[in-house]
Structure 1
Amino acid sequence: MKFNAVYAVFIAGVILLGCNQSGGSESGGENAGKKLVIGATMLSMQNEFIVNVSDEMESRAKALDVELITVDAERSALKQVEQVESFIAQGVDAIIMNPCEVEASSPAVKLAMNAKIPIINVNSETSAKPTAFVGSDDTESARIAMKYIAEKLGGKGNVLIMHGFMGQAAQLKRDAGAKEVLKANPGLKLLAEQSGEWDRAKAMSLTENWIQSYGNQINAIFAHNDEMGMGAVKALEAAGLKNKVIVISVDAIPDALQAVKKGTLDATIYQNAAQQGGTAIETAIKAAKKEAFKKEVLIPFQLVTKENVGEFLKQ
């Protein structure tokens, strides 16, 4: 009988201890100690700048002990919406989206907001308002580029504009910024404008067509990104026209920086991929944890020429 009584007391103590331990876990929340999971859908992993943003996101997520699931939208807004739907179904803690298009990617924002999952747009915008936006003012990048062209041409000359993927925020805003400066400089004439879809090979082909149409009339080309700028440079070099045509583009990817150093690309506009990617992750984590965060983070662009390219090559 004494043995049974002692045993009963022992069992009761174990049960009580177990309850106390369970209660301690509950007081820290149901997901205490659980890794945060962030889903990220990127415009295109064939674009070097976007890859740079994604790489920094991966690095920052690892440093902050967060699980990051990254998928490639392959420039399809429809695919991007489906990817966000999948993230919602998986029950991720936050979503980062690098939008394919301003309008067509907007349903993804609405889906996430309705599901009460924070969604952070990085690098590019949507008409639907997300939880937060991390990027740069694309209008400003085009202003910097076109002012550079105006200065180099003394306010007079023929300009070609190579657009990015039509309907994407960067394309729309860089177009607006460029047209603003053109309007303020009536001596600059817009010969033609067309999309090179952010792609180097397509940009090279487009420039070859422009050379056939306009030849020596071309004084400058503003390409909405470096991939296209590099394609334009290659076509101009093959035609023996590079020394006569100013080319400026946006992003300051490694290839472009080397080209500026060599003097084949006249200038590029530095867009901070690392800061955009890292800040997007930090913002997503804060939003998921319901901590204070900035609703909009705008990172300044910088003009890169042969004179200051060394500063950026060191980064």
Structure 2
Amino acid sequence: MNRLSAFSFFLLSTFFLTNCNQSGSDTASGDKPVIGVTMLSMQNEFIVNVSDEIDKKAEEAGVELITVDAERSALKQIEQVESFIAQGVDAIIMNPCEVEASSPAVAKALAAGIPIINVNSATATKPSAFVGSDDVESARIAMKYIAEKLGGKGNVIMIHGYMGQAAQIQREQGAREILKNYPDLKLLASQTGEWDRAKAMSLMENWIQSYGSQINAVFAHNDEMGMGAMKALTDAGLKDKILVVSIDAIPDALQAVQKGTLDATVYQNAKQQGSQAIETALKILNKQPYEQEVLIPFQLVTKQNVAEFVK
């Protein structure tokens, strides 16, 4: 190849590469944006509901998604975010496994110049935006309901979510805030059920053996664990004597509230969280104004108003 041909080849190659790079990154030009999504656990019904809404809204908006399951592992989640960065995604939506341990994933995305939106759960490192609900408030609602139903007196069991995850930390905080206002309402025992129905059922069976009739109420950090506790109490013939309240308002819990087997749940809007996460990501990519924190309200669900929430 002579010098002129080599120079012409160089110019053509440079032109080609420049145009490819521009078309791959400029989402405003009409190209399909690519968003990486890493979810805490696809074994959790509420998280699946959030993910389903992300999928639905992404399809409507013409967004390509790469969705992965972190399987409750913060380390795996960091690796997934590193993979998204290597793939050159336009934005990342993360449903964090843990407040501290998932924070490096946020830092890595921001350092790579990729916007990252936390959905449903928080990290210590501040992302580009957060879309979710105030988990402290959800627990305040649940524990206040228990306190009022018990007349401010009695013994409560608390079943925690996955330890170190934002919802677990904040829901414990909210519950303890209310307990401080009711000195005759005692926390008899608390332990993690890891958001899992079977684990919560096993915990409840052990507590029934240890405390039996001393238990007046159970506050579970999510419905999966609330349903597990309820099953153990029903099997032991104690459900009619012990209040059970949980959070999320998943379909199983709503049906249980309707039947009167679960006393109350606190509705968390999975659809709004999922859809607003996609909308926020697109606003950032299109350089439009966006809210750095989108908080969607919780609502108490009892037998009196459950019909409003059942599909």
TM-score (norm 2): 0.92
* Corresponding residue to 1:256 among 253, 258, 274: 253
Q: CA deviation at 1:192?
A: 0.3
Q: CA deviation at 1:290?
A: 1.9
- Residue equivalent to 2:47: 50
Hey, what's the Cα distance between the residues in 2 that align with 1:238 and 1:101? 34
- Residue equivalent to 2:177: 180
Q: Where does the alignment leave 5 or more consecutive residues of structure 1 unmatched?
A: 1-21
Correspondence 1:301-312 to 2 at 5 A: 301-312=298-309
> In the alignment, is residue 200 of structure 1 matched against residue 218 of structure 2?
no
Correspondence 1:293-304 to 2 at 5 A: 293-304=290-301
Q: CA deviation at 1:296?
A: 0.3
1:150-177 deviation line (CA, Å, top 9, x unaligned)? 0000000000000000000000000000
* Corresponding residue to 1:289 among 277, 286, 291: 286
Q: CA deviation at 1:239?
A: 0.1
Q: CA deviation at 1:33?
A: 3.0
AA partner of residue 282 (structure 1):
E
Identity of counterpart residues, as a percentage?
75
1:175-205 deviation line (CA, Å, top 9, x unaligned)? 0000000011001011000000000000000
* Corresponding residue to 1:66 among 34, 59, 63: 63
AA partner of residue 113 (structure 2):
K
Hey, what's the Cα distance between the residues in 1 that align with 2:46 and 2:285? 26
Matched residue of 2:126: which SS?
A: coil
1:214-240 deviation line (CA, Å, top 9, x unaligned)? 000000000000000000000000000
TM-score (norm 1): 0.90
- Residue equivalent to 1:123: 120
Correspondence 1:88-127 to 2 at 5 A: 88-127=85-124
How many correspondences in the alignment?
291
- Residue equivalent to 2:235: 238
> In the alignment, is residue 143 of structure 1 matched against residue 140 of structure 2?
yes
Hey, what's the Cα distance between the residues in 2 that align with 1:286 and 1:47? 28
- Residue equivalent to 1:162: 159
Q: CA deviation at 1:269?
A: 0.1
AA partner of residue 89 (structure 2):
V
Q: CA deviation at 1:285?
A: 1.1
CA RMSD of aligned residues (A): 1.5
- Residue equivalent to 2:80: 83
Hey, what's the Cα distance between the residues in 2 that align with 1:156 and 1:109? 43
Hey, what's the Cα distance between the residues in 2 that align with 1:267 and 1:144? 10
Hey, what's the Cα distance between the residues in 2 that align with 1:33 and 1:216? 64
- Residue equivalent to 1:18: none
AA partner of residue 142 (structure 2):
A
Correspondence 1:19-58 to 2 at 5 A: 30=23, 31=26, 32-58=29-55
Matched residue of 1:274: which SS?
A: helix
Hey, what's the Cα distance between the residues in 1 that align with 2:196 and 2:30? 44
Matched residue of 1:303: which SS?
A: strand
Q: CA deviation at 1:291?
A: 1.7
Matched residue of 1:130: which SS?
A: coil
Matched residue of 2:141: which SS?
A: helix
Q: CA deviation at 1:69?
A: 1.0
Q: Where does the alignment leave 5 or more consecutive residues of structure 2 unmatched?
A: 1-14
Matched residue of 1:313: which SS?
A: coil
Hey, what's the Cα distance between the residues in 2 that align with 1:39 and 1:50? 16
Matched residue of 2:309: which SS?
A: helix
Larger Rg: 1
* Corresponding residue to 2:210 among 196, 213, 218: 213
Hey, what's the Cα distance between the residues in 2 that align with 1:208 and 1:312? 30
